[in-house]
Amino acid sequence: MSGTLTYPRAVPFRVVLAEDNYLLREGLAQLLGMSDEVELVAVCGDLPQLEQAIAETEPDVVVTDIRMPPTGTDEGLRAADRLRRERPRVGVVVLSQYAEPEYALGLLRDGAAGRAYLLKERVSDVHQLVGAIREVARGGSVIDPAVVEALVAARSAPRDSPLRELTPREGEVLSQMAQGRNNAGIAAALSLTDRAVEKHINAIFSKLGLSEQPDTHRRVKAALVYLAERGATGSSE
């Protein structure tokens, strides 16, 4: 085999695997079983099983899906947070189907040491998966390149804000909405007719992607979008 040679340590890394999809779980277990560097000490399908396995087996590394029962939302991140507090020496490799910036930032919020975020599509390469396990066990970190690209894109997102699609007059109307004025108050403040204000507001809702929501919710969300970007950019408009 070409490439840099790596040698397994004398004692394999003790690994707990958590994945709710049966076929993927079995596939990952078989992959990990091929490595002399890994001792798979438990295989779990949900968060309660994972927490019990961690307590019973004292692993070096946890390899976990982000979304598992009981809620199918962020169980893997919650497990990582708890390990950070209670067992900081345990490394965590989080597996995700998508490059989700908010989850990656959640995983790394309190530091990148001992944490890895990999896309599931890449872990069929046992060397890459075991390499991530090895790295987090040593206190390092591994972030999938696709996730890094998504994080960079997320940071530049304000430049592509839907507020840039508003006309100057629509921006003025939205500013008045953010101050809590109703349609009549906006019309008086901007010397517009009620009908003109209504047309501008409908255009704002459409450009902000709020067309299919109740009117009260749309007004609140539109105001929040305006205030959030104004706070982020320091605008004085």
Residue where one domain finishes, among candidates 155, 185, 200: 155
Residue 110: inside a domain: yes
170 & 63 share domain: no
Taking the CA atoms of residue 87, residue 109, residue 74 and residue 99 in that order, the dihedral angle to the nearest 10 degrees is -120
- Measured between alpha carbons, how far apart are the two ends of the chain, in Å? 62
Rounded Cα gap, residues 75 and 96, in angstroms: 12
79 & 185 share domain: no
23 & 94 share domain: yes
pLDDT in tens, 205-226: 888 887 665 665 677 777 777 7
Beta bridge partner(s), residue 15 = 40, 61
Task: Please give the helix or strand (H or E) that residue 92 lies within, else none.
Answer: strand 91-96
32 & 57 share domain: yes
Residue 123 is predicted with a pLDDT of 82
Q: 234: phi > 0 → left, psi -120 to 50 → alpha, else beta; which?
A: left
Residue 209: inside a domain: yes
Q: Domain of 220: which CATH number?
A: 1.10.10.10
Residue where one domain finishes, among candidates 126, 155, 184: 155
Rounded Cα gap, residues 70 and 172, in angstroms: 46
Sheet holding 13-18, edge to edge: 38-44, 13-18, 61-65, 91-96, 115-119, 141-143
Number of folded domains in the chain?
A: 2
Q: Domain of 144: which CATH number?
A: 3.40.50.2300
105 & 171 share domain: no
Q: Which whole number is the average pLDDT over 62-90? A: 94
Residue 44: inside a domain: yes
pLDDT in tens, 132-178: 999 999 998 888 888 777 766 655 555 556 777 888 888 889 888 88
Rounded Cα gap, residues 49 and 62, in angstroms: 12
163 & 202 share domain: yes
228 & 112 share domain: no
pLDDT in tens, 96-131: 988 777 788 788 878 888 999 999 888 888 888 999
Residue 1: inside a domain: no
Q: Which whole number is the average pLDDT over 72-95? A: 94
178 & 135 share domain: no
182 confidence band (pLDDT: 50, 70, 90): confident
Residue 141's domain comprises: 13-155
1 confidence band (pLDDT: 50, 70, 90): very low
